[in-house]
């Protein structure tokens, strides 16, 4: 199976207008990866070709580019002096993460390059060949860890395709996601993961230095500059080429769109850009304007079909193996809530139930709460507590995809707090919001987990 970009010869170069005084380039990933490399190659080519007086690169990492995409859409709307690097990885992540912001919300400009991926292991690894690695993988899938870029991207897709072609359930792939190529590379060379997956250019220095061993490349045929067998040569019928592109913000004027189109066209046909493509050994996959927009539509359908097959698309059945550690956190939290509820119910019954002496005394017989009514009061309190906790959980599940993690979790935490203490609603609301935002930032920014931003996309 393959997700292959179409090879299209670029149009005749057109001279750009006056150079940009300052063109900002957004790389929606940490430094060191393919998007960062592409943005910095554009930065040099644009300035050296005289198409921009100055160009700067801004890194916005997280969630396979969807965090950068959300910020780009919300903060740069209508801005004609900024562009963002995008590509197959982001398209896959949008589907995997069920992002509310998609590539349909930006202005397509051009596809630029294509690149095949490699599967590597540290030079000290006992796995000398792909057959060695797959033998260990088939014997104990979870014991083999695959390191790559952000969750939901092309690296994880390739790991899933290899698993599927090897007769292993893709949901059992132990995939370790990293924010950028630099972190992934350090994990591979440091032996923190069994194998690494990334574009050829990202591992090129380590391949040449001999610190990693290439087991396979995802091209249909062997590459002239890389002495490594293809997956197909080794019995794994998989081919995958990742492509990278550039887009403009939504709401740009036709004049600004045309200006950027002409600038990118002139850049692609310039000698500085050709040198960059040769340096990184990228494939020229230039496709611009309306043709690129049509390609995006067809590629989205192709990616969705692959993700469904792998069990990571919107038709996938949620499981602990495929959804990552977040369900464990949720289930653990619900377990703690249940324990707290049980303890609260026991305390309520103990406090409301009168002692034997008090119940038999004359004073007690004239008291406000007869002994016979105490169990009923405790039961009513327990039912109210349970109802609020259940309501919080149900609303959390219903609101998660549409409203996002922060809003849904804030409602759940607030109702749970109200179940055990109804005296401080504003304090509990503030606490719920702070904890939800902190949890979201921890999971998405630091742990690179997939959580829906919902209505707050672009703010977090």
User: How much is the pLDDT for 409?
Assistant: 82
Burial group, residue 144, by CB count within 10 angstroms (0-12, 13-18, 19+)? buried
Whether residue 344 has pLDDT greater than 70 = no
CATH topology of domain 116-240: D-Maltodextrin-Binding Protein; domain 2 (3.40.190)
Least confident of 27-31, 123-127, 332-336, 407-411: 332-336
Whole-model pTM? Answer: 0.61
Helical axes 88-97 vs 66-75, angle rounded to 10°: 90
CATH topology of domain 2-114+244-317: D-Maltodextrin-Binding Protein; domain 2 (3.40.190)
* DSSP code per residue over 61-108: -SGGGHHHHHHHHHHSTT-TTEEEEEEHHHHHHHHHHT-SS-GGGSEE
Beta bridge partners of 146: 175, 195
Closest C-alpha among 252, 6, 317, 280 to residue 109: 252
Query: What's the whole-number mean pLDDT along residues 316-335?
Result: 43
Give yes or no for a contact between 67 and 225, defined as CB atoms under 8 angstroms apart.
no
User: How much is the pLDDT for 239?
Assistant: 92
Q: What are the tens digits of pLDDT across the range 239-285?
A: 999 999 999 999 999 999 999 999 999 999 999 999 999 999 899 99
Least confident of 66-75, 360-369, 405-414: 360-369
Whether residue 428 has pLDDT greater than 90 = no
Which stretches does DSSP call E strand in 123-201?
145-148, 174-177, 195-199
Residue indicated by tokens 């540290």: 122
Who's near 166: CB < 8 A, 6+ residues apart? 134, 137, 138, 236
For 113, the 3-state DSSP assignment is: strand
Band of residue 225 on the pLDDT scale cut at 50, 70, 90: confident
What is the radius of gyration, based on Cα positions, of the chain? 28
Residue-wise burial string across 244-283, b where 16 or more C-beta atoms lie within 10 A, e elsewhere: bbbbbbbebeeebbebbbbbbbbbbbbebbeebbeebbbb
Query: What's the whole-number mean pLDDT along residues 286-313?
Result: 84
User: How much is the pLDDT for 347?
Assistant: 57
Summary mean pLDDT of the chain = 80
Who's near 331: CB < 8 A, 6+ residues apart? none
Residue-wise burial string across 160-178, b where 16 or more C-beta atoms lie within 10 A, e elsewhere: bbbbbbbebebbbbbbbbb
Burial group, residue 58, by CB count within 10 angstroms (0-12, 13-18, 19+)? middle
In this structure, what token pair is assigned to residue 150? 């952000």
Whether residue 449 has pLDDT greater than 70 = no
Q: What are the tens digits of pLDDT across the range 18-34?
A: 899 999 999 998 887 88
Domain ranges of the chain: 2-114+244-317, 116-240, 325-456
Looking at the chain, the whole-number percentage of residues with pLDDT higher than 90 is 42
Same fold, 2-114+244-317 and 116-240: yes
Closest C-alpha among 459, 449, 454 to residue 93: 449
């Amino acid at each position: 199976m393959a997700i292959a970009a179409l090879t299209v010869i670029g149009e005749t170069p057109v001279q750009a207008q006056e150079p940009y005084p300052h063109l900002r380039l957004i790389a929606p990933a940490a430094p060191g990866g393919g998007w960062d490399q592409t943005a910095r190659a554009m930065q040099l080519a644009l300035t050296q070709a005289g198409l921009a007086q100055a160009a700067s690169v801004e890194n916005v990492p997280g969630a396979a580019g969807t965090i950068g995409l959300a910020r780009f859409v919300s903060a740069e709307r209508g801005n004609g002096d900024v562009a963002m690097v995008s590509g197959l990885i982001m398209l896959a992540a949008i589907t995997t993460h069920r992002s509310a912001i998609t590539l349909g919300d930006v202005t397509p400009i051009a596809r630029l390059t294509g690149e095949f991926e490699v599967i590597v292991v540290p030079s000290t690894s006992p796995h000398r060949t792909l057959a060695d690695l797959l033998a260990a993988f088939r014997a104990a899938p979870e014991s083999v860890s695959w390191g790559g870029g952000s969750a939901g991207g092309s690296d994880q897709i390739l790991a899933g395709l290899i698993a599927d072609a090897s007769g292993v359930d893709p949901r059992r792939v132990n995939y370790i996601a990293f924010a950028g190529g630099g972190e992934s590379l350090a994990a591979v060379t440091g032996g923190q993961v069994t194998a690494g997956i990334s574009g050829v250019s990202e591992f090129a220095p380590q391949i040449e230095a001999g610190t990693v061993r290439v087991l396979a490349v995802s091209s249909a045929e062997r590459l002239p500059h890389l002495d490594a067998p293809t997956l197909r040569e080794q019995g794994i019928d998989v081919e995958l080429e990742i492509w990278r592109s550039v887009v403009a913000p939504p709401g740009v004027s036709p004049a600004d769109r045309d200006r950027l189109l002409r600038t990118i066209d002139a850049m692609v046909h310039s000698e500085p850009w050709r040198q960059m493509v040769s340096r990184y050994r990228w494939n020229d996959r230039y496709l611009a304007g309306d043709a690129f927009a049509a390609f995006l539509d067809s590629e989205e359908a192709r990616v969705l079909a692959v993700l469904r097959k792998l069990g990571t698309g919107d038709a996938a059945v949620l499981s602990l193996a495929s959804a990552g550690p977040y369900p464990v956190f949720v289930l653990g939290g619900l377990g703690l809530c249940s324990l707290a509820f049980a303890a609260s119910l026991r305390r309520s019954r103990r406090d409301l139930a009168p002692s034997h002496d008090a119940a038999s005394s004359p004073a007690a017989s004239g008291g406000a709460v007869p002994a016979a009514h105490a169990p009923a009061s405790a039961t009513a309190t327990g039912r109210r507590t349970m109802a609020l906790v259940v309501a919080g959980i149900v609303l959390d599940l219903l609101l998660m995809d549409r409203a996002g993690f922060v809003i849904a979790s804030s409602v759940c935490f607030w109702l749970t707090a109200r179940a055990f203490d109804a005296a401080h609603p504003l304090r509990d609301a503030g606490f719920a919001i702070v904890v939800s935002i902190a949890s979201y930032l921890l999971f998405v920014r630091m742990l690179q987990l997939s959580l829906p931003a919902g209505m707050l996309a672009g703010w977090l």
